[in-house]
Amino acid sequence: MLGGICTSSSHQQFYSSMHYDNKQFSHIFSFIEKLQTLMYQLREEVLIQDTMESVWKFFATPFNLQRITPPDMGFVIKTPVPDEMYEGLIIAYTVRPLFGIPTEWVTEITHIRKYEFFVDEQRIGPYAMWHHEHHFRQTDQGILVTDIVSYQLPLAPFGNFLHPILIKPRLQKIFSYRTRVISEIFKTQ
């Protein structure tokens, strides 16, 4: 042994066969790898009876995010933000997503196609990955706003076990709140 590392070829063969040749363990490791790469998606839609210009202006104004976030999230924008977002805009927040514990969250506006969509992505925060698409579509009934959030949880595979009992219900509550507040601000169906 050198520095706690086994150099015996018989020991190496034993560990090698234990980790790679044992089919029982390979199934377990395969399952754990799948848990580590699970991606979830949340989709929410709201129909707003207003002009595209008015709806876009509301959603493109970073300060309005605070208006449509539940108060118990403790959402505070920490960086100066412009009146209207632009590609490359970095916004830092403090949020309290679970149990009132403050968490730093940094997002970047990565894509904008005015009056069609924009995307924000987490750079630092509570998720392993967060990609939030905001789509806007003119219909005969008004403007259909669609949020599509694709995300992965931290601490995989253990974080994935919390998804159905803690994370998913919390996100659904947050987006239901957003829809209710948007309904109060605009005429919606």
What is the mean pLDDT of each successive set of 10 residues along the chain, which is 189 residues long?
Answer: 43 47 57 67 96 97 95 95 97 90 96 98 96 98 97 86 92 96 81
Q: Are 177 and 46 in contact (CB under 8 A)?
A: no
C-alpha span between 36 and 152 (Å, rounded): 9
The residues, ordered by sequence, that sit 6+ positions from 113 with a Cβ below 8 Å of its Cβ are: none
Amino acid identity for residue 90 in this structure: I
In a 3-state reduction of DSSP, which class is residue 94? Answer: strand
C-alpha span between 152 and 123 (Å, rounded): 13
How long a stretch of residues is the chain? 189
H or E stretch including 34? helix 23-36
C-alpha span between 178 and 185 (Å, rounded): 11
C-alpha span between 17 and 164 (Å, rounded): 36
For residue 21, the 8-state DSSP code is I
Q: What is the pTM of this model?
A: 0.79
The per-residue pLDDT for 159 is: 82
In a 3-state reduction of DSSP, which class is residue 63? Answer: coil
